[in-house]
Structure 1
Amino acid sequence: MCEKERVIFLVGIGMGTEEGMTVQAERCIRSCDCLIGAQRMLESVGSEEGKTRPMLAEYRPAEIVSYAERHKEYRRIGVLLSGDTGFYSGAKKIASEIRDRMKGCTVELIPGISSIVYLAARLETSWEDAALVSLHGKEVDFIQTVDRNRKTFLLLGSAGSGEKVLERLLEYGMDHVTVHAGSRLSYEDEKIVSGRPSDLAPDDLEGLCTLLIENPNPSEQTGPHVGDEAFLRGKVPMTKEEVRAVSIARLRLTENAVVWDVGAGTGSVSVEAARCGNRIRVYAVEKNPEALELIRENRRRFRTDGIRIISGEAPEVLKALDPPTHLFIGGSSGNLKEILSCAIEKNGQVRIVINAISLETVKEAMEAVEEGLLNHPEITQLTVSRSRELGRYHMMTGQNPVYIISSGGNSAERGNT
């Protein structure tokens, strides 16, 4: 427990040099009787002439708070953080740890200059109209974001992340974008290089690097839906666009959805699901080699890097996947009930949509209802007719009827019905 007059300051020190630190941060640091932070940050603030004070080289929230708890003699503790405390910073976790364990202790955040603000200034451009993505220490999809925005800032950090960025841009046919890579920003050996992905080397993007990717021709299409003619199809069956539209609507996808698309075929449903949001992750499950290649090509064509391609037969390959929030079944090879059981075992609130063309699949679905795998299903039969020219006339040609069976999901997704 900490006395009320104790204050822990979480101080954003900018890029790391003394010149890049705000006056407010500098004054706060001078007023502290103990400093905590990564070694390079402690070295960057230096020491005041004639004044020595304890410093702890530490960045882990739990250890920082434990140190503060043990040393009650320090009334003003400064925790140094790179960049700005409100931009992909450790400040949030540290503040939460302090408030949970040190009741009555005041926490104060001191903002700093973030790397994107600095790089934008050096490139003489704005950043308020850009998308922001952090790849620091985690796997994040970014191709779809770059495709849809004229400007995208990426924060790198983990080893090899720069090389992966260049590889992914080239894999998705995005050599037309311009990449500005800034490393060691604000230091004497600061380095900023610019060029197309094919012009840059992985070494140009290594370390704590910040990127600005400029796309001169971002995609302007809104909404997830794509016409059938836009997909590569081969000889693989594909869910028609009218059926996809209703099926995607019935899925009621959420911002951070994890979607299993079982029997993905050409990947048309996977593509449209991924296009519903940059943070949606789709597992396209397919056993047909030709279909797997089509999914790869369509993923590349539509730059939907939120799709993970899973080769194999369900339900066996589903066991290793992340729990689904949403399940779409376009083909089950007679394993419908086993697939449903696998998904429900991982998440009892999974939202389920099934497309059934054959009566045998409809029979399986109704057996699943009787066995409690599909609760209170909503069933729609959709029959679509399309026009075709016959001489000077236009005639309607009917497509195969499809049963769209939906079930599950939480009450919020169902509109509390």
Structure 2
Amino acid sequence: MTARIHIVGIGDDGLDGLTGQARLLIDLASVLIGPAPLLDKIPASDARRIIVGSNLEQLEQSIYDLGDRHAVVLAGGDPLFYGIARYLTETFGKDRFDVVPHVSSMQLAFARVKESWDDAYLTNLANQSLDRVVDNIRTAERVGIFTTEEISPAVVAEALLDRRIDYFTAYICENLGTPRETVTQGELSSIRSQSFSGMNVMILVRKTGAADRPSGSTHRRLFGNPDDLFLQSRPKRGLLTPAEVRCIALSELDLTPQSTVWDVGAGSGSLAIEAASIANRGKVFAIEMDAEDYGLMIENAKMFDVPSLIPVHGQAPDAWKELPDPDAIFVGGTGRVVPELVAAAVPRLAQGGRIVVNVSSPDNLVSVQNLLSAADLIHDVRMINISRGQHQMERVRFESLNPTFLVLGRKSK
């Protein structure tokens, strides 16, 4: 019969921070498996020690070779929080293991800087690319990062500043739970010139009111540009129409270079700007009532150089009274007002024109469909589920965006 294996979390303070149960399991083990720094925290005993680092194949083989010997796998902090426990239970099955967690150093770090971490973006640079992490940081409120020897806090700070992401206060928490514990607070411009212990957690806290800044990339697509190329308002995370949805919506609008377009509820202008790139000899009226979003839209339009975009600061439907009738209308936003805007906009749509309405709730979906049907528009609907790949532990997992609906309408000629 194969013996159960205990995965025991251990902190920077070694045995002193362990519970009696965890210490007993380690004392009784005939085999101890783990990275050298953790094994060094355990006093000498008769147990055989197997040093494994980041080589997962070596770790797997060590588990296969155990037979019925009582083994403990040492892991840093909570083995199920960016730790090895998930990988082992998925590889060998949950029934083979028991997990005894320690307080995660990530949890300790957030406690030291007195910030909540329930909605923070948490990541580990040991199994995530720095570019992907930086892209996710751009839109986060709070961030917790397990750094590595190669990708230190200074390297992270440099990468953020290179992409014009300078709106976070940084905290570097070193040697947590030990007498050498240190927390350094500073601007990213200061952190990038400093050195820190290899045992650290980097916490980033967004400065109050800071807007997302674009990545600074000089490459621009005609449409479907990455979300991080646009300034976005805070704390309205997630209101920008994702690139994948923009691509589908723009294709359904059937734009030509001469089209006249309304974008109702344009926000910071991502869809209107890309529509203006296509309708570069026409006119794209981007209607937005929020002053902050309106200002960001103007800044985004300057970066993309789209002369056919005409920002309109006002509340629909009054804001479009003096505008020319459109060949295409896009309506975005949330709430009960969306069907009312659609009802007011459809009569202005040119013959043969198209309307695309982006809604997230089934109630609005049904209401908008009924309105388009009552107006004798040819209509259809698309439900869009998008997942973006995330690399973790040498595997690809998928992070789902919120599902959304596009309601399509066309006025017959």
Q: Report TM bin, short chain.
A: 0.5 to 0.7
Q: Report the counterpart of residue 344 of structure 1 in structure 2.
A: none
1:180 aligns with 2:177: no
Q: 2:79 aligns with which of 44, 67, 85?
A: 85
Q: Report the counterpart of residue 397 of structure 1 in structure 2.
A: 323
1:109 aligns with 2:68: no
What's the CA shift for 1:40? Answer: 1.4
Counterpart CA distance in 1 for 2:10 and 2:175 is 14
Q: 2:38 aligns with which of 37, 41, 52?
A: 41
Counterpart CA distance in 1 for 2:381 and 2:320 is 38
Q: 2:20 aligns with which of 12, 19, 23?
A: 23
What's the CA shift for 1:25? Answer: 1.9
Counterpart CA distance in 2 for 1:181 and 1:38 is 23
What's the CA shift for 1:185? Answer: 2.9
Counterpart CA distance in 1 for 2:191 and 2:100 is 36
Task: Give the secondary structure class of the aligned counterpart of 2:83.
Answer: coil
Task: Give the secondary structure class of the aligned counterpart of 1:396.
Answer: coil
What's the CA shift for 1:43? Answer: 1.1
Q: 1:98 aligns with which of 83, 92, 95?
A: 92
Contact 1:12–1:81 under 8 Å retained in 2: yes
Counterpart code for 1:214: V
Q: 2:144 aligns with which of 135, 147, 153?
A: 153
Q: 1:63 aligns with which of 50, 53, 58?
A: 58
Moved more, 178-187 or 6-15: 178-187
Counterpart CA distance in 2 for 1:411 and 1:121 is 36
Percent identity over the alignment is 16
Counterpart code for 2:58: E
Counterpart CA distance in 1 for 2:63 and 2:125 is 27
Counterpart CA distance in 1 for 2:107 and 2:404 is 42
What's the CA shift for 1:17? Answer: 2.4
What's the CA shift for 1:53? Answer: 1.5
Q: Report the counterpart of residue 133 of structure 2 in structure 1.
A: 141
* CA-to-aligned-CA distance 1:54-102 (integer Å, 9 cap, x gap): 111124444334333334241x2101111111211111111222229xx
* Cα RMSD, aligned residues only: 4.7
Task: Give the secondary structure class of the aligned counterpart of 1:116.
Answer: helix
* CA-to-aligned-CA distance 1:293-340 (integer Å, 9 cap, x gap): xx5xx4599999x9xxxxxxxxxxxxxxxxx994755xxxxxxxxxxx
Which runs of structure 2 are paired with 1:186-335 in the superposition (5 Å)?
186-205=177-196, 207-218=198-209, 262-264=221-223, 270=225, 274=227, 298=230, 326=244, 329=247
Task: Give the secondary structure class of the aligned counterpart of 2:150.
Answer: coil
What's the CA shift for 1:165? Answer: 2.4
Counterpart CA distance in 1 for 2:208 and 2:404 is 38
Counterpart code for 1:215: R
Counterpart code for 1:397: L
Task: Give the secondary structure class of the aligned counterpart of 1:72.
Answer: coil
What's the CA shift for 1:26? Answer: 1.6
Moved more, 406-415 or 79-88: 406-415
Q: Report the counterpart of residue 54 of structure 1 in structure 2.
A: 48
Counterpart CA distance in 2 for 1:21 and 1:175 is 39
* CA-to-aligned-CA distance 1:4-30 (integer Å, 9 cap, x gap): 5x1101111123522233333222211
Q: 1:118 aligns with which of 98, 102, 108?
A: 108
Contact 2:6–2:72 under 8 Å retained in 1: yes
Q: 1:9 aligns with which of 6, 29, 48?
A: 6
Change (3 A) 1:190 1:38: same
Counterpart code for 1:396: E
TM-score (norm 1): 0.53
* CA-to-aligned-CA distance 1:117-168 (integer Å, 9 cap, x gap): 2223444x2444450321413223346646552x432221251342342124
Task: Give the secondary structure class of the aligned counterpart of 2:38.
Answer: helix
